[in-house]
Amino acid sequence: MRQIFSVTLKTLVIALGLSLVNPSFAADPAAAPAGPAKADVAKGEALYNAGDAKRGLAACMGCHGPNGVSGGGTYPKLAGQHAAYTVKQLKDYKAGKDRPNAIMGAFAGMMTEEDMINVAAYLEKQTPGLGTAKNKASIELGQKIYRGGIASKQVPACAACHAPNGAGIPSQYPRLSGQWAEYTEAQLVAYRQGERKNSVQMTGIASRMSDAEIKAVSDYIAGLR
């Protein structure tokens, strides 16, 4: 009887020891939380250029142009944008609360997180589209705001977060350089009016800017590279 008890106790101790040294011995690996999906650039390229007819998902290229360079300010240039930022925007569109948009809400609503990650990775690898500042009368004001902010209104320099050349900071702040002035202006106005609410920081900044200041800095940003 003692021998049986001794063997049983020994077996139990060994089992417990294994579970402590190697948690996978005691836990079901399937129960472990899955990490973020790894981007598949090829799938992202295919979805961007051709969409997915089975799901009724149209090609992104139709509005945002070949390689992520759109043809006008109605739709933003996406080429070279940081992947993390693009994924966040798609998720916000899908949620519909802080960045409501009928068109993008419908598109994002049909996309899985994997789709978003793949498309964002493809776009990040594309060459950013160049732009130009067109309004000579406001270029000095735009440059002043972008580089130094507006101290009297507590508006910080755009360059502090988006970099002196508008390249942004990966995973934190988006690339702005070369973006259509009309699009940048529309987004700043949307922040100011509370129509776009997915950045508390940008809502606060835009709320303290006049139409002329927004227009000037948007035009200046278009010429950054």
Tell me the average pLDDT across 30-52: 82
Any binding-site annotation on 1? no
Co-location of 144 and 180 in the same domain? yes
Any domain includes 149? yes
Beta strand residue intervals within 14-106, DSSP E: none
Any domain includes 4? no
Any binding-site annotation on 61? no
CA angle 21, 27, 32 (to 5 degrees): 110
pLDDT band at 132 (very low <50, low <70, confident <90, very high): very high
Mean pLDDT of the chain: 89
Any binding-site annotation on 82? no
Answer yes or no: is pLDDT of 21 > 50. no
Any domain includes 213? yes
CB atoms within 10 A of CB 125: 15
Any binding-site annotation on 202? yes
Any domain includes 77? yes
CB atoms within 10 A of CB 16: 11
The last residue of one of the domains, among 124, 156, 184, is 124
- In the block, tokens 């899955």 appear at 34
Report yes or no: 50 and 60 within 8 Å, Cβ to Cβ: no
pLDDT band at 7 (very low <50, low <70, confident <90, very high): very low
Residue 90 sits in a domain whose CATH number is 1.10.760.10
Any binding-site annotation on 110? no
pLDDT band at 145 (very low <50, low <70, confident <90, very high): very high
Question: How far is 218 from 189, CA to CA, in rounded Å?
Answer: 11
- Report the percent of the chain where pLDDT is more than 90: 83
CA distances from 32 to 23, 27, 90, 144 (A): 11, 8, 26, 51
Any domain includes 105? yes
Phi and psi for 173 in degrees, rounded to 5?
-130, 140
CA-based max dimension of the chain:
99
Q: Decide: helix, strand or coil at residue 14.
A: helix
Q: Decide: helix, strand or coil at residue 2.
A: helix
User: Which residues make beta-bridge pairs with 169?
Assistant: 173
Any domain includes 28? no
Q: Decide: helix, strand or coil at residue 116.
A: helix
Co-location of 108 and 145 in the same domain? no
Co-location of 112 and 156 in the same domain? no
Any binding-site annotation on 158? yes
pLDDT band at 37 (very low <50, low <70, confident <90, very high): confident
Q: Which two tokens stand for residue 197?
A: 């609410």
Domain tally for the chain?
2
Co-location of 148 and 212 in the same domain? yes
Domain that holds residue 90: 41-124
Any domain includes 11? no
Any domain includes 20? no
Tell me the average pLDDT across 87-105: 98
Q: Which two tokens stand for residue 216?
A: 């000037």
